[in-house]
Amino acid sequence: MAKIKMTKSELKIQKDALKMYQRYLPTLTLKKQQLQAEIRTIEAKAESVRKARQELERGFASWIAVFSEANAFPEGIITVSNIRKSMGNIAGVAIPVYEGADFARGDYDLYETPLWVDIAANHMEKAMSLDLEAEVLDEQVRLLGEELRATSQRVNLFEKVKIPETKENIRKISIYMADQQVNAVVRSKISKSKIAARGETASGTEVYAL
């Protein structure tokens, strides 16, 4: 803790600082709670997306045996040509928002390729889209988590360090100034008593001289 000056100006500085900390703490606390709630919501959404991906895979399990046939499914038939994202904002944090993806299909012989390949390709596009959405949601959680850690640190700093420290500084300065005021009053009374005593002595000397 830095050494403080026992002055009126320092007392004002400390009081102003305390008002600032007490004014911003509720805002920071509210932001912390908002971030925590948003992270829980996004995590639940990401879990839901991954479950949808698993259900899609289970629903397509009957095709697995067909995929295992040698050269049955053309390699590289599905590629991601573009991932569409926009930018959102949560509690002042810029986050990516998944808008969808565009896929490209490789060339393959329509006569020699089995009919189910198109169905399988559609399935793969849906699965890949869900994977991409989950990745974006994970990125949202990461960014909001970083902001949550920073906000929590500021809340703890204000709540557990700055506010108690400033209150203690105000208490010390107030006690010191009160003591100084009492001492000044005592010195003033002593000074007045001495002046009065000297006046009485002087008056007594004049009477005696007469």
pLDDT at 120: 78
pLDDT of residue 189: 74
Which residues contact residue 122 at a Cβ distance below 8 angstroms, ignoring those fewer than 6 apart? none
> What are the pLDDT digits (tens) for 69-101?
555 566 677 889 999 999 999 999 999 999 999
How many Å apart are CA 129 and CA 99, to the nearest integer? 10
| Integer CA distances (angstroms), 136 to 55, 81, 91, in order | 20, 17, 18
4, 24, 143 from 157: Cα distances, Å: 19, 12, 21
- Chosen CATH of 8-166 out of 3.40.50.11600, 1.10.287.3240, 3.40.50.2000, 1.20.1250.20: 1.10.287.3240
User: Does residue 209 register a pLDDT over 50?
Assistant: no
* pLDDT, position 105: 81
Q: Give the integer Cα–Cα distance in Å for 93 and 146.
A: 10
Entry pTM:
0.78
d(C-alpha 130, C-alpha 57), whole Å:
11
Helix (H, G, I), strand (E, B) or coil at 150: helix
Weakest-pLDDT range from 19-28, 56-65, 149-158, 163-172: 56-65
Average pLDDT score, the chain = 85
What percentage of the chain has pLDDT greater than the value 70? 80
Per DSSP, 60 falls in state T
pLDDT band at residue 208 using 50, 70 and 90 as cut-offs: very low
Q: How confident is residue 205, by pLDDT bands cut at 50, 70 and 90? A: low
pLDDT tier for residue 210 given thresholds of 50, 70 and 90: very low
Domain boundaries, the chain: 8-166
**Whether the Cβ atoms of residue 85 and residue 98 lie closer than 8 Å to each other:** yes
Amino acid 170: pLDDT: 95
